Amino acid sequence: MRLSEFALTTLKEVPAEAEIVSHKLMLRAGLIRRLSSGLFTWMPLGLRVLRKVEAVVREEMNRAGALELLMPAVQPSELWVESGRWDQYGPLLLRMHDRNDREYCFGPTHEEVITDVARRELRSYKQLPVNYYQIQTKFRDEIRPRFGVMRSREFIMKDAYSFDIDQEGLQKSYDRMHDAYTRIFERLGLKFRVVDADSGEIGGSRSQEFHVLADSGEDAIAYCDADHYASNVETAATSRPDGERAAATAEREKFPTPGVKTIQDLCDLLGVTAEQTVKTLVVDGTDGPVALVIRGDHELNAVKAQKLDGVASPLTMADTGTIIKALGAEPGSLGPVGMTLPVYFDHAVAALSDFTCGANETGFHYKGVNFGRDLDEPQTVDLRNAVAGDPTPGGKGTLSIARGIEVGHIFQLGSKYSEAMKATVQAPDGSNAVMEMGCYGIGITRIVGAAIEQNHDDNGIVWPGPLAPFDVVLVPINMHRSEAVCEAAEALYAELSEAGLEVLLDDRDARPGVKFADAELIGIPHRVVIGERSLAKGELEYRHRRDSESRDLKREEVLELLKV
Ligand code: ATP
Ligand code: MG
Protein backbone atom coordinates (compact mmCIF):
# COMPACT_ATOMS: atom_id res chain seq x y z
CA MET A 1 0.00 0.00 0.00
CA ARG A 2 1.22 3.47 -0.90
CA LEU A 3 0.57 5.88 1.91
CA SER A 4 -0.05 8.62 -0.69
CA GLU A 5 -3.16 6.64 -1.68
CA PHE A 6 -4.28 5.63 1.80
CA ALA A 7 -5.84 8.87 3.07
CA LEU A 8 -4.41 8.41 6.54
CA THR A 9 -5.17 11.24 8.94
CA THR A 10 -3.22 11.10 12.16
CA LEU A 11 -3.74 13.54 15.01
CA LYS A 12 -1.05 15.25 17.08
CA GLU A 13 -3.45 16.40 19.74
CA VAL A 14 -4.87 13.96 22.25
CA PRO A 15 -8.65 14.02 21.80
CA ALA A 16 -10.35 15.33 24.92
CA GLU A 17 -13.03 12.64 25.08
CA ALA A 18 -10.51 9.78 25.41
CA GLU A 19 -9.67 8.64 28.95
CA ILE A 20 -7.37 5.68 28.39
CA VAL A 21 -4.33 5.21 26.26
CA SER A 22 -5.78 2.76 23.75
CA HIS A 23 -8.71 5.03 23.01
CA LYS A 24 -6.40 8.04 22.58
CA LEU A 25 -4.04 6.14 20.31
CA MET A 26 -6.81 4.59 18.22
CA LEU A 27 -8.16 8.07 17.52
CA ARG A 28 -4.74 9.64 16.98
CA ALA A 29 -3.59 6.86 14.65
CA GLY A 30 -6.79 7.05 12.63
CA LEU A 31 -7.95 3.50 13.39
CA ILE A 32 -11.45 4.54 14.42
CA ARG A 33 -13.68 7.58 14.30
CA ARG A 34 -16.59 8.27 16.61
CA LEU A 35 -20.04 8.60 15.13
CA SER A 36 -22.01 9.00 18.33
CA SER A 37 -22.01 7.63 21.87
CA GLY A 38 -20.64 4.07 21.76
CA LEU A 39 -20.72 3.96 17.95
CA PHE A 40 -17.51 3.92 15.91
CA THR A 41 -16.45 3.68 12.29
CA TRP A 42 -13.52 1.38 11.66
CA MET A 43 -11.29 3.33 9.28
CA PRO A 44 -9.23 1.43 6.70
CA LEU A 45 -6.15 1.18 8.94
CA GLY A 46 -8.15 -0.05 11.94
CA LEU A 47 -10.16 -2.45 9.83
CA ARG A 48 -6.95 -4.16 8.73
CA VAL A 49 -6.21 -4.91 12.40
CA LEU A 50 -9.75 -6.04 13.08
CA ARG A 51 -9.59 -8.44 10.14
CA LYS A 52 -6.38 -9.96 11.53
CA VAL A 53 -8.12 -10.67 14.82
CA GLU A 54 -11.07 -12.18 12.98
CA ALA A 55 -8.80 -14.34 10.83
CA VAL A 56 -7.02 -15.88 13.82
CA VAL A 57 -10.30 -16.44 15.64
CA ARG A 58 -11.91 -17.98 12.55
CA GLU A 59 -8.96 -20.30 11.90
CA GLU A 60 -8.90 -21.59 15.45
CA MET A 61 -12.66 -22.02 15.62
CA ASN A 62 -12.59 -24.00 12.39
CA ARG A 63 -9.66 -26.02 13.65
CA ALA A 64 -11.68 -26.86 16.78
CA GLY A 65 -14.46 -28.21 14.55
CA ALA A 66 -16.92 -25.34 14.97
CA LEU A 67 -19.20 -24.47 12.02
CA GLU A 68 -19.54 -20.87 10.90
CA LEU A 69 -22.98 -19.48 10.19
CA LEU A 70 -24.46 -16.00 10.25
CA MET A 71 -27.63 -15.16 12.14
CA PRO A 72 -29.73 -12.00 11.79
CA ALA A 73 -28.75 -9.13 14.06
CA VAL A 74 -32.43 -8.23 14.48
CA GLN A 75 -34.39 -10.74 16.54
CA PRO A 76 -38.15 -11.15 17.06
CA SER A 77 -39.38 -10.66 20.63
CA GLU A 78 -41.28 -13.98 20.61
CA LEU A 79 -38.05 -15.95 21.06
CA TRP A 80 -37.04 -13.80 23.99
CA VAL A 81 -40.46 -14.22 25.57
CA GLU A 82 -40.03 -17.99 25.19
CA SER A 83 -36.68 -17.97 26.98
CA GLY A 84 -38.02 -15.61 29.64
CA ARG A 85 -35.47 -12.90 28.88
CA TRP A 86 -37.74 -10.32 27.21
CA ASP A 87 -38.71 -9.04 30.66
CA GLN A 88 -35.44 -9.89 32.41
CA TYR A 89 -32.85 -8.32 30.18
CA GLY A 90 -33.57 -4.71 31.08
CA PRO A 91 -32.39 -1.49 29.47
CA LEU A 92 -29.29 -3.05 27.87
CA LEU A 93 -31.64 -4.47 25.23
CA LEU A 94 -32.39 -2.16 22.31
CA ARG A 95 -36.04 -2.82 21.47
CA MET A 96 -37.84 -1.70 18.34
CA HIS A 97 -41.03 -2.05 16.29
CA ASP A 98 -41.57 -2.77 12.63
CA ARG A 99 -44.30 -1.22 10.44
CA ASN A 100 -46.77 -3.88 11.60
CA ASP A 101 -46.04 -3.00 15.20
CA ARG A 102 -44.27 -6.28 15.88
CA GLU A 103 -41.57 -6.12 18.51
CA TYR A 104 -37.92 -6.87 17.88
CA CYS A 105 -34.58 -6.32 19.51
CA PHE A 106 -31.13 -5.74 18.12
CA GLY A 107 -29.29 -8.82 19.36
CA PRO A 108 -26.98 -8.26 22.35
CA THR A 109 -26.25 -12.02 22.17
CA HIS A 110 -27.76 -14.95 20.27
CA GLU A 111 -28.75 -17.80 22.62
CA GLU A 112 -32.41 -17.56 21.63
CA VAL A 113 -31.82 -17.52 17.88
CA ILE A 114 -29.31 -20.37 17.90
CA THR A 115 -31.55 -22.49 20.12
CA ASP A 116 -34.32 -21.92 17.59
CA VAL A 117 -31.94 -22.95 14.78
CA ALA A 118 -30.88 -26.07 16.69
CA ARG A 119 -34.38 -27.24 17.57
CA ARG A 120 -35.34 -27.04 13.90
CA GLU A 121 -32.16 -28.52 12.43
CA LEU A 122 -31.01 -31.16 14.87
CA ARG A 123 -33.10 -34.33 15.11
CA SER A 124 -30.93 -37.08 16.49
CA TYR A 125 -28.10 -37.58 18.96
CA LYS A 126 -26.17 -38.93 15.97
CA GLN A 127 -25.82 -35.36 14.66
CA LEU A 128 -24.17 -34.22 17.91
CA PRO A 129 -21.94 -32.67 19.00
CA VAL A 130 -22.43 -29.51 17.00
CA ASN A 131 -20.81 -26.16 17.65
CA TYR A 132 -22.10 -23.23 15.56
CA TYR A 133 -20.34 -19.88 15.55
CA GLN A 134 -20.58 -16.49 13.91
CA ILE A 135 -18.62 -13.26 13.81
CA GLN A 136 -21.19 -10.55 13.96
CA THR A 137 -22.34 -7.16 15.15
CA LYS A 138 -24.06 -6.90 18.54
CA PHE A 139 -25.75 -3.98 20.23
CA ARG A 140 -25.96 -3.40 23.97
CA ASP A 141 -27.29 -0.12 25.23
CA GLU A 142 -24.50 0.17 27.81
CA ILE A 143 -25.23 2.60 30.64
CA ARG A 144 -21.71 4.07 30.35
CA PRO A 145 -20.15 3.48 26.96
CA ARG A 146 -16.49 4.44 27.37
CA PHE A 147 -12.93 3.70 26.47
CA GLY A 148 -13.75 3.70 22.75
CA VAL A 149 -14.25 0.24 21.30
CA MET A 150 -13.51 -1.36 24.66
CA ARG A 151 -16.99 -0.66 25.98
CA SER A 152 -19.00 0.50 23.03
CA ARG A 153 -22.69 0.01 22.31
CA GLU A 154 -22.27 -1.55 18.90
CA PHE A 155 -19.42 -4.06 18.74
CA ILE A 156 -18.34 -7.21 16.98
CA MET A 157 -18.40 -10.49 18.83
CA LYS A 158 -17.47 -13.98 17.87
CA ASP A 159 -20.14 -16.08 19.53
CA ALA A 160 -20.27 -19.85 19.46
CA TYR A 161 -22.87 -22.26 20.83
CA SER A 162 -22.34 -25.98 21.38
CA PHE A 163 -25.03 -28.67 21.51
CA ASP A 164 -24.44 -32.03 23.16
CA ILE A 165 -26.52 -34.98 24.19
CA ASP A 166 -25.32 -34.98 27.81
CA GLN A 167 -23.17 -33.21 30.39
CA GLU A 168 -20.16 -35.33 29.54
CA GLY A 169 -20.37 -34.20 25.93
CA LEU A 170 -20.81 -30.58 27.00
CA GLN A 171 -17.69 -30.82 29.16
CA LYS A 172 -15.73 -32.00 26.12
CA SER A 173 -17.08 -29.21 23.90
CA TYR A 174 -16.28 -26.70 26.63
CA ASP A 175 -12.73 -28.01 27.05
CA ARG A 176 -12.21 -27.76 23.30
CA MET A 177 -13.27 -24.13 23.33
CA HIS A 178 -11.05 -23.48 26.35
CA ASP A 179 -8.10 -24.82 24.36
CA ALA A 180 -9.07 -22.97 21.18
CA TYR A 181 -9.31 -19.68 23.13
CA THR A 182 -5.93 -20.30 24.71
CA ARG A 183 -4.42 -20.77 21.25
CA ILE A 184 -6.17 -17.68 19.92
CA PHE A 185 -4.78 -15.37 22.59
CA GLU A 186 -1.34 -16.95 22.40
CA ARG A 187 -1.31 -16.49 18.63
CA LEU A 188 -2.38 -12.88 18.95
CA GLY A 189 0.69 -12.32 21.14
CA LEU A 190 -1.24 -11.11 24.19
CA LYS A 191 -0.50 -11.65 27.88
CA PHE A 192 -3.65 -13.11 29.36
CA ARG A 193 -5.10 -15.16 32.17
CA VAL A 194 -8.04 -17.55 32.35
CA VAL A 195 -10.13 -16.82 35.42
CA ASP A 196 -13.13 -18.41 37.09
CA ALA A 197 -16.15 -16.20 36.68
CA ASP A 198 -19.74 -15.64 37.61
CA SER A 199 -22.27 -16.82 35.04
CA GLY A 200 -24.24 -13.58 35.45
CA GLU A 201 -27.22 -12.81 33.22
CA ILE A 202 -26.85 -15.78 30.94
CA GLY A 203 -27.20 -18.33 33.72
CA GLY A 204 -25.91 -21.89 33.87
CA SER A 205 -23.13 -23.30 35.97
CA ARG A 206 -19.47 -23.33 34.94
CA SER A 207 -17.92 -20.24 33.41
CA GLN A 208 -14.45 -18.84 32.79
CA GLU A 209 -13.24 -15.53 31.42
CA PHE A 210 -10.15 -14.75 29.38
CA HIS A 211 -8.56 -11.49 30.48
CA VAL A 212 -5.86 -9.47 28.79
CA LEU A 213 -3.76 -8.07 31.63
CA ALA A 214 -3.58 -4.26 31.68
CA ASP A 215 -3.57 -1.67 34.44
CA SER A 216 -6.54 0.12 32.89
CA GLY A 217 -8.65 -3.07 32.98
CA GLU A 218 -12.16 -2.67 34.40
CA ASP A 219 -12.01 -6.05 36.15
CA ALA A 220 -9.94 -7.05 39.14
CA ILE A 221 -8.52 -10.56 39.06
CA ALA A 222 -7.49 -12.42 42.20
CA TYR A 223 -4.77 -14.94 41.47
CA CYS A 224 -2.16 -17.14 43.09
CA ASP A 225 0.41 -18.84 40.89
CA ALA A 226 1.46 -21.26 43.66
CA ASP A 227 -2.10 -22.52 43.84
CA HIS A 228 -2.83 -22.32 40.07
CA TYR A 229 -5.75 -20.17 41.04
CA ALA A 230 -7.28 -17.23 39.19
CA SER A 231 -10.73 -15.83 39.64
CA ASN A 232 -12.58 -12.65 38.88
CA VAL A 233 -12.75 -10.72 42.15
CA GLU A 234 -16.53 -10.84 41.66
CA THR A 235 -16.40 -14.55 42.41
CA ALA A 236 -13.15 -15.14 44.33
CA ALA A 237 -14.28 -16.81 47.57
CA THR A 238 -13.09 -15.55 50.94
CA SER A 239 -13.24 -17.64 54.07
CA ARG A 240 -13.56 -17.24 57.82
CA PRO A 241 -10.14 -16.35 59.27
CA ASP A 242 -8.45 -19.17 61.17
CA GLY A 243 -7.49 -18.84 64.80
CA GLU A 244 -8.96 -17.40 67.93
CA ARG A 245 -10.31 -13.89 68.11
CA ALA A 246 -8.37 -11.58 70.45
CA ALA A 247 -10.09 -11.10 73.80
CA ALA A 248 -12.07 -7.93 74.51
CA THR A 249 -9.96 -5.32 76.26
CA ALA A 250 -12.11 -2.22 75.97
CA GLU A 251 -15.45 -1.13 77.34
CA ARG A 252 -18.07 -0.09 74.83
CA GLU A 253 -18.28 3.71 74.66
CA LYS A 254 -20.52 6.00 72.64
CA PHE A 255 -18.99 9.02 70.87
CA PRO A 256 -20.64 11.91 69.09
CA THR A 257 -19.62 11.86 65.45
CA PRO A 258 -21.50 14.72 63.84
CA GLY A 259 -21.24 14.93 60.07
CA VAL A 260 -19.39 11.61 59.73
CA LYS A 261 -20.43 10.04 56.43
CA THR A 262 -17.55 7.79 55.45
CA ILE A 263 -15.21 5.32 57.12
CA GLN A 264 -12.36 7.77 56.44
CA ASP A 265 -14.23 10.56 58.32
CA LEU A 266 -14.78 8.15 61.20
CA CYS A 267 -11.14 7.07 61.36
CA ASP A 268 -9.93 10.69 61.30
CA LEU A 269 -12.29 11.71 64.06
CA LEU A 270 -11.88 8.75 66.43
CA GLY A 271 -8.24 7.89 65.71
CA VAL A 272 -8.90 4.30 64.65
CA THR A 273 -7.87 2.42 61.50
CA ALA A 274 -10.40 1.24 58.91
CA GLU A 275 -9.55 -2.39 59.80
CA GLN A 276 -10.89 -1.75 63.31
CA THR A 277 -14.26 -0.52 62.05
CA VAL A 278 -17.25 -2.18 60.47
CA LYS A 279 -19.68 -0.65 58.02
CA THR A 280 -23.33 -1.56 57.90
CA LEU A 281 -25.09 -1.36 54.56
CA VAL A 282 -28.83 -1.67 54.17
CA VAL A 283 -30.11 -3.25 50.97
CA ASP A 284 -33.53 -4.05 49.61
CA GLY A 285 -34.76 -7.51 50.50
CA THR A 286 -37.48 -9.81 49.27
CA ASP A 287 -39.31 -9.24 52.54
CA GLY A 288 -38.18 -5.79 53.75
CA PRO A 289 -34.67 -4.36 54.07
CA VAL A 290 -31.64 -6.43 55.09
CA ALA A 291 -28.42 -5.27 56.81
CA LEU A 292 -25.00 -6.37 55.56
CA VAL A 293 -21.98 -5.87 57.81
CA ILE A 294 -18.43 -5.85 56.45
CA ARG A 295 -15.08 -4.59 57.72
CA GLY A 296 -14.53 -0.87 57.12
CA ASP A 297 -11.66 -1.37 54.70
CA HIS A 298 -13.44 -4.05 52.67
CA GLU A 299 -15.77 -3.68 49.69
CA LEU A 300 -19.19 -5.24 49.45
CA ASN A 301 -19.41 -7.82 46.67
CA ALA A 302 -22.75 -7.41 44.90
CA VAL A 303 -22.59 -10.73 43.07
CA LYS A 304 -22.19 -12.62 46.35
CA ALA A 305 -24.67 -10.51 48.31
CA GLN A 306 -27.51 -10.78 45.84
CA LYS A 307 -27.37 -14.56 46.05
CA LEU A 308 -28.20 -14.55 49.79
CA ASP A 309 -31.62 -15.62 51.01
CA GLY A 310 -33.91 -12.65 51.49
CA VAL A 311 -31.68 -10.21 49.56
CA ALA A 312 -33.16 -8.75 46.38
CA SER A 313 -31.37 -9.41 43.08
CA PRO A 314 -29.98 -7.32 41.45
CA LEU A 315 -28.54 -5.85 44.63
CA THR A 316 -30.09 -2.45 45.39
CA MET A 317 -29.12 -0.13 48.21
CA ALA A 318 -32.10 0.86 50.34
CA ASP A 319 -32.95 4.55 50.08
CA THR A 320 -32.36 6.88 53.00
CA GLY A 321 -36.08 7.15 53.78
CA THR A 322 -36.42 3.39 54.14
CA ILE A 323 -33.32 3.24 56.36
CA ILE A 324 -34.47 5.99 58.67
CA LYS A 325 -37.90 4.40 58.94
CA ALA A 326 -36.42 0.97 59.71
CA LEU A 327 -33.58 1.96 62.04
CA GLY A 328 -34.27 5.53 63.15
CA ALA A 329 -30.80 6.67 62.01
CA GLU A 330 -29.11 7.96 58.88
CA PRO A 331 -26.92 5.73 56.69
CA GLY A 332 -23.61 7.12 58.09
CA SER A 333 -24.40 6.05 61.66
CA LEU A 334 -25.60 2.45 61.35
CA GLY A 335 -24.21 -0.54 63.20
CA PRO A 336 -24.96 -4.11 64.24
CA VAL A 337 -25.49 -3.43 67.97
CA GLY A 338 -29.22 -3.64 68.63
CA MET A 339 -29.88 -4.25 64.94
CA THR A 340 -33.55 -4.93 64.33
CA LEU A 341 -33.28 -5.94 60.66
CA PRO A 342 -32.23 -9.38 59.41
CA VAL A 343 -28.45 -9.15 59.26
CA TYR A 344 -25.56 -10.91 57.50
CA PHE A 345 -21.97 -10.55 58.75
CA ASP A 346 -18.97 -11.05 56.51
CA HIS A 347 -16.51 -13.75 57.64
CA ALA A 348 -13.77 -11.21 58.34
CA VAL A 349 -15.95 -9.30 60.80
CA ALA A 350 -16.06 -12.35 63.07
CA ALA A 351 -12.34 -11.93 63.79
CA LEU A 352 -12.74 -8.42 65.20
CA SER A 353 -12.69 -7.41 68.81
CA ASP A 354 -12.89 -3.90 70.29
CA PHE A 355 -14.26 -2.60 67.00
CA THR A 356 -15.93 0.66 66.05
CA CYS A 357 -19.36 0.96 64.42
CA GLY A 358 -22.39 3.21 64.09
CA ALA A 359 -24.75 3.40 67.08
CA ASN A 360 -28.00 3.46 65.04
CA GLU A 361 -28.45 7.01 66.26
CA THR A 362 -27.68 9.81 63.81
CA GLY A 363 -24.31 11.40 64.65
CA PHE A 364 -23.14 8.72 67.11
CA HIS A 365 -20.75 5.75 66.97
CA TYR A 366 -19.55 3.11 69.42
CA LYS A 367 -15.94 2.18 70.12
CA GLY A 368 -14.89 -0.99 71.93
CA VAL A 369 -17.67 -3.21 70.62
CA ASN A 370 -17.29 -6.97 71.15
CA PHE A 371 -19.16 -10.06 70.03
CA GLY A 372 -20.57 -12.25 72.77
CA ARG A 373 -20.93 -9.20 75.01
CA ASP A 374 -22.42 -6.26 73.11
CA LEU A 375 -24.08 -8.39 70.48
CA ASP A 376 -24.53 -12.08 69.75
CA GLU A 377 -21.81 -14.20 68.16
CA PRO A 378 -22.23 -13.66 64.42
CA GLN A 379 -23.30 -16.17 61.80
CA THR A 380 -20.98 -15.26 58.96
CA VAL A 381 -21.11 -15.50 55.17
CA ASP A 382 -18.88 -14.46 52.28
CA LEU A 383 -19.94 -10.89 51.47
CA ARG A 384 -16.88 -9.00 50.32
CA ASN A 385 -14.38 -8.67 47.49
CA ALA A 386 -11.18 -10.60 47.99
CA VAL A 387 -8.11 -8.41 48.59
CA ALA A 388 -4.38 -8.93 48.15
CA GLY A 389 -3.00 -11.06 50.97
CA ASP A 390 -6.17 -13.10 51.53
CA PRO A 391 -5.48 -16.85 51.73
CA THR A 392 -6.31 -18.76 48.54
CA PRO A 393 -9.26 -21.15 48.59
CA GLY A 394 -6.76 -24.00 48.09
CA GLY A 395 -4.89 -22.77 51.14
CA LYS A 396 -1.41 -22.98 49.61
CA GLY A 397 -0.71 -19.30 49.24
CA THR A 398 -2.06 -15.79 49.32
CA LEU A 399 -3.88 -13.83 46.65
CA SER A 400 -2.47 -11.08 44.47
CA ILE A 401 -4.72 -8.73 42.55
CA ALA A 402 -4.14 -7.75 38.92
CA ARG A 403 -6.31 -5.80 36.53
CA GLY A 404 -7.68 -7.32 33.38
CA ILE A 405 -9.82 -6.64 30.34
CA GLU A 406 -12.38 -9.37 29.63
CA VAL A 407 -11.86 -10.39 26.02
CA GLY A 408 -13.44 -13.82 26.07
CA HIS A 409 -15.98 -15.73 28.10
CA ILE A 410 -16.94 -19.41 28.01
CA PHE A 411 -20.01 -20.81 29.77
CA GLN A 412 -21.65 -24.12 30.33
CA LEU A 413 -25.28 -23.18 29.92
CA GLY A 414 -26.64 -26.67 30.46
CA SER A 415 -30.31 -26.91 29.55
CA LYS A 416 -31.39 -23.37 30.50
CA TYR A 417 -32.36 -22.38 26.96
CA SER A 418 -32.90 -25.81 25.42
CA GLU A 419 -35.44 -26.65 28.10
CA ALA A 420 -37.30 -23.36 27.95
CA MET A 421 -37.39 -23.51 24.15
CA LYS A 422 -37.85 -27.27 23.86
CA ALA A 423 -34.71 -28.01 21.87
CA THR A 424 -34.65 -31.78 21.95
CA VAL A 425 -33.18 -34.58 19.87
CA GLN A 426 -33.83 -38.28 19.78
CA ALA A 427 -31.62 -40.07 22.34
CA PRO A 428 -30.09 -43.55 21.75
CA ASP A 429 -32.98 -45.16 23.68
CA GLY A 430 -35.52 -43.46 21.41
CA SER A 431 -36.67 -40.92 23.98
CA ASN A 432 -36.57 -37.13 23.49
CA ALA A 433 -33.55 -35.61 25.20
CA VAL A 434 -33.08 -31.92 25.95
CA MET A 435 -29.73 -30.84 24.55
CA GLU A 436 -26.93 -29.54 26.79
CA MET A 437 -25.61 -26.19 25.60
CA GLY A 438 -22.43 -24.18 25.98
CA CYS A 439 -21.80 -20.64 24.78
CA TYR A 440 -18.51 -19.00 24.00
CA GLY A 441 -17.91 -15.31 23.26
CA ILE A 442 -14.93 -13.27 22.14
CA GLY A 443 -14.98 -9.49 21.92
CA ILE A 444 -13.35 -9.03 18.51
CA THR A 445 -13.42 -5.24 18.56
CA ARG A 446 -12.48 -5.07 22.25
CA ILE A 447 -9.36 -7.16 21.57
CA VAL A 448 -7.93 -4.37 19.41
CA GLY A 449 -8.21 -1.86 22.27
CA ALA A 450 -6.93 -4.37 24.81
CA ALA A 451 -3.92 -5.19 22.64
CA ILE A 452 -2.98 -1.50 22.54
CA GLU A 453 -3.39 -1.14 26.31
CA GLN A 454 -0.77 -3.84 26.63
CA ASN A 455 1.48 -2.74 23.76
CA HIS A 456 2.33 0.95 23.45
CA ASP A 457 4.96 3.49 24.41
CA ASP A 458 5.18 7.28 24.53
CA ASN A 459 5.33 7.49 20.75
CA GLY A 460 2.37 5.31 19.91
CA ILE A 461 1.18 1.79 19.34
CA VAL A 462 3.61 -1.16 19.33
CA TRP A 463 1.61 -3.88 17.58
CA PRO A 464 2.31 -7.51 18.34
CA GLY A 465 3.34 -8.87 14.90
CA PRO A 466 0.15 -10.89 14.28
CA LEU A 467 -2.08 -7.83 14.78
CA ALA A 468 -0.10 -5.21 12.88
CA PRO A 469 -1.98 -3.56 9.99
CA PHE A 470 1.27 -3.76 7.96
CA ASP A 471 4.39 -5.82 8.60
CA VAL A 472 6.88 -3.24 7.43
CA VAL A 473 6.94 0.46 6.62
CA LEU A 474 9.40 1.82 4.06
CA VAL A 475 10.46 5.41 4.64
CA PRO A 476 12.32 6.88 1.67
CA ILE A 477 14.07 10.17 2.42
CA ASN A 478 13.60 12.83 -0.26
CA MET A 479 12.10 10.28 -2.60
CA HIS A 480 10.71 13.03 -4.78
CA ARG A 481 14.12 14.60 -5.33
CA SER A 482 16.46 11.61 -5.42
CA GLU A 483 16.18 9.15 -8.28
CA ALA A 484 18.39 6.62 -6.47
CA VAL A 485 16.18 6.66 -3.40
CA CYS A 486 13.02 6.44 -5.50
CA GLU A 487 14.34 3.47 -7.44
CA ALA A 488 15.60 1.65 -4.36
CA ALA A 489 12.33 2.23 -2.51
CA GLU A 490 10.19 1.05 -5.42
CA ALA A 491 12.35 -2.04 -5.93
CA LEU A 492 12.23 -2.96 -2.23
CA TYR A 493 8.48 -2.32 -2.11
CA ALA A 494 7.96 -4.65 -5.09
CA GLU A 495 10.22 -7.37 -3.74
CA LEU A 496 8.80 -7.41 -0.21
CA SER A 497 5.21 -7.31 -1.49
CA GLU A 498 5.98 -10.10 -3.90
CA ALA A 499 7.32 -12.15 -0.97
CA GLY A 500 3.92 -11.87 0.69
CA LEU A 501 4.68 -9.16 3.25
CA GLU A 502 2.20 -6.38 3.88
CA VAL A 503 4.25 -3.32 3.06
CA LEU A 504 3.40 0.32 3.60
CA LEU A 505 5.44 2.63 1.40
CA ASP A 506 5.48 6.15 2.79
CA ASP A 507 5.73 7.88 -0.57
CA ARG A 508 4.18 11.10 0.68
CA ASP A 509 6.06 14.28 -0.07
CA ALA A 510 6.55 14.99 3.62
CA ARG A 511 9.45 15.72 5.97
CA PRO A 512 11.25 12.67 7.39
CA GLY A 513 10.26 13.72 10.92
CA VAL A 514 6.57 13.56 10.00
CA LYS A 515 6.99 10.14 8.41
CA PHE A 516 8.91 8.77 11.40
CA ALA A 517 6.33 10.09 13.86
CA ASP A 518 3.45 8.54 11.90
CA ALA A 519 5.24 5.20 11.51
CA GLU A 520 5.76 5.06 15.28
CA LEU A 521 2.25 6.22 16.09
CA ILE A 522 0.59 3.57 13.93
CA GLY A 523 2.98 0.99 15.36
CA ILE A 524 4.30 -0.93 12.33
CA PRO A 525 6.74 -3.59 13.62
CA HIS A 526 9.57 -3.13 11.06
CA ARG A 527 10.79 0.18 9.67
CA VAL A 528 13.27 0.49 6.83
CA VAL A 529 14.64 3.93 6.00
CA ILE A 530 16.02 4.44 2.51
CA GLY A 531 18.36 7.43 2.31
CA GLU A 532 20.94 8.56 -0.25
CA ARG A 533 23.88 8.41 2.14
CA SER A 534 23.37 4.82 3.31
CA LEU A 535 22.40 3.72 -0.20
CA ALA A 536 25.82 4.88 -1.38
CA LYS A 537 27.30 2.37 1.09
CA GLY A 538 24.87 -0.31 -0.09
CA GLU A 539 22.99 -0.09 3.20
CA LEU A 540 19.54 0.54 4.59
CA GLU A 541 18.61 1.79 8.02
CA TYR A 542 16.54 -0.76 9.95
CA ARG A 543 14.68 -0.45 13.20
CA HIS A 544 12.17 -2.67 14.96
CA ARG A 545 9.37 -0.77 16.68
CA ARG A 546 10.56 -2.18 20.01
CA ASP A 547 14.23 -1.16 19.47
CA SER A 548 15.55 2.10 20.80
CA GLU A 549 18.20 2.56 18.06
CA SER A 550 18.28 1.87 14.35
CA ARG A 551 20.98 -0.21 12.66
CA ASP A 552 22.62 0.09 9.25
CA LEU A 553 22.21 -3.21 7.44
CA LYS A 554 23.02 -4.54 4.00
CA ARG A 555 20.00 -4.94 1.77
CA GLU A 556 20.35 -8.75 1.99
CA GLU A 557 20.47 -8.60 5.77
CA VAL A 558 17.24 -6.64 5.80
CA LEU A 559 15.62 -9.17 3.50
CA GLU A 560 16.86 -12.00 5.69
CA LEU A 561 15.57 -10.30 8.82
CA LEU A 562 12.17 -9.90 7.23
CA LYS A 563 12.41 -13.56 6.19
CA VAL A 564 12.12 -12.86 2.48
P1 ATP B 1 -18.73 -6.96 30.37
O2 ATP B 1 -18.68 -7.66 31.70
O3 ATP B 1 -17.42 -6.38 29.95
O4 ATP B 1 -19.88 -6.03 30.21
P5 ATP B 1 -20.09 -9.24 29.44
O6 ATP B 1 -19.60 -10.23 30.43
O7 ATP B 1 -21.41 -8.65 29.59
O8 ATP B 1 -19.00 -8.09 29.29
P9 ATP B 1 -20.34 -11.32 27.46
O10 ATP B 1 -21.80 -11.44 27.42
O11 ATP B 1 -19.55 -12.32 28.18
O12 ATP B 1 -19.95 -9.84 27.97
O13 ATP B 1 -19.84 -11.13 25.96
C14 ATP B 1 -18.71 -11.78 25.38
C15 ATP B 1 -17.60 -10.82 25.07
O16 ATP B 1 -18.04 -9.69 24.32
C17 ATP B 1 -16.97 -10.22 26.31
O18 ATP B 1 -16.03 -11.09 26.86
C19 ATP B 1 -16.34 -8.95 25.75
O20 ATP B 1 -15.06 -9.25 25.24
C21 ATP B 1 -17.24 -8.57 24.62
N22 ATP B 1 -18.11 -7.42 25.01
C23 ATP B 1 -19.16 -7.44 25.84
N24 ATP B 1 -19.70 -6.23 25.96
C25 ATP B 1 -18.97 -5.39 25.17
C26 ATP B 1 -19.03 -3.99 24.87
N27 ATP B 1 -19.96 -3.20 25.39
N28 ATP B 1 -18.11 -3.48 24.00
C29 ATP B 1 -17.17 -4.26 23.45
N30 ATP B 1 -17.06 -5.58 23.71
C31 ATP B 1 -17.94 -6.16 24.56
MG1 MG C 1 -18.74 -11.94 30.18
Amino acid (one-letter) located at 342: P
Nearby residues of 55 by Cβ (< 8 Å), 6 or more positions away: none
Residue nearest to atom 8 of ligand 1 (CA): 406
Long-range contacts of 492-497 (CB under 8 A, 24+ apart): 492/528, 492/530, 492/540, 492/555, 495/559, 495/564, 496/472, 496/559, 496/562, 496/564
Determine the pLDDT at residue 204. 47
Q: What is the mean pLDDT of the chain?
A: 95
H or E element that contains 111: helix 111-121
Higher pLDDT, 235 or 211: 211
Question: Which of 409, 412, 444 maximizes ligand 1 atoms within 8 Å of its Cβ, making it the mutation to test the pocket?
Answer: 409
Antiparallel, parallel or unpaired: β 67-68 and 130-139: parallel
- Overall average pLDDT of the 296-318 stretch: 95
Which amino acid residue places its CA nearest to atom 2 of ligand 1?
406
Least-confidence region, from 204-208, 219-223, 253-257, 309-313: 204-208
Can you give the pLDDT at residue 199? 61
**Model pLDDT for residues 148-164, shown as the tens digit of each residue:** 999 999 999 999 999 99
Question: Ligand 1 test: best mutation among 23, 157, 161, 235, most atoms within 8 Å of CB?
Answer: 157
* pLDDT given at position 43: 98
Question: Tell me, what's the pLDDT at 239?
Answer: 87
Q: What is the pLDDT of residues 398-440, one digit of tens each?
A: 999 999 999 999 999 999 999 999 999 999 999 999 999 999 9
Atom of ligand 1 nearest to the CA of 442: 15
- What's the pLDDT score for residue 375? 95
In contact, 386 and 223? CB cutoff 8 Å: no
pLDDT value for 530: 97
Tell how strand 290-295 and strand 343-346 pair up: parallel
Per-residue pLDDT, averaged over 50-71, amounts to: 98
For the Cβ of 439 lying below 6 angstroms from any atom of ligand 1, the answer is no
CB atoms within 10 A of CB 364: 17
Q: Is the pLDDT of residue 180 over 70?
A: yes
- Tell me: pLDDT of 14 over 60: yes
Positions of E strands within 284-342: 290-295
Ligand 1 neighbourhood includes 103 CB (under 6 angstroms): no
Residues within 5 Å of ion ligand 2, judged at the Cβ atom: 409
pLDDT over threshold 60, residue 201: no
DSSP 319: P
CA 197 to centroid of ligand 1, rounded, Å: 13
In tens, the pLDDT along 259-288 reads: 888 999 999 999 999 999 999 999 999 999
Closest atom, ligand 1, to C-alpha of 109? 10
Output the pTM of the full model.
Answer: 0.87
| Neighbouring C-beta atoms of residue 428, cutoff 10 Å | 10
For residue 227, name the pLDDT band (cuts at 50, 70, 90).
confident
pLDDT of 200 reads 57
131-138: average pLDDT: 98
pLDDT computed for residue 330 by the predictor: 93
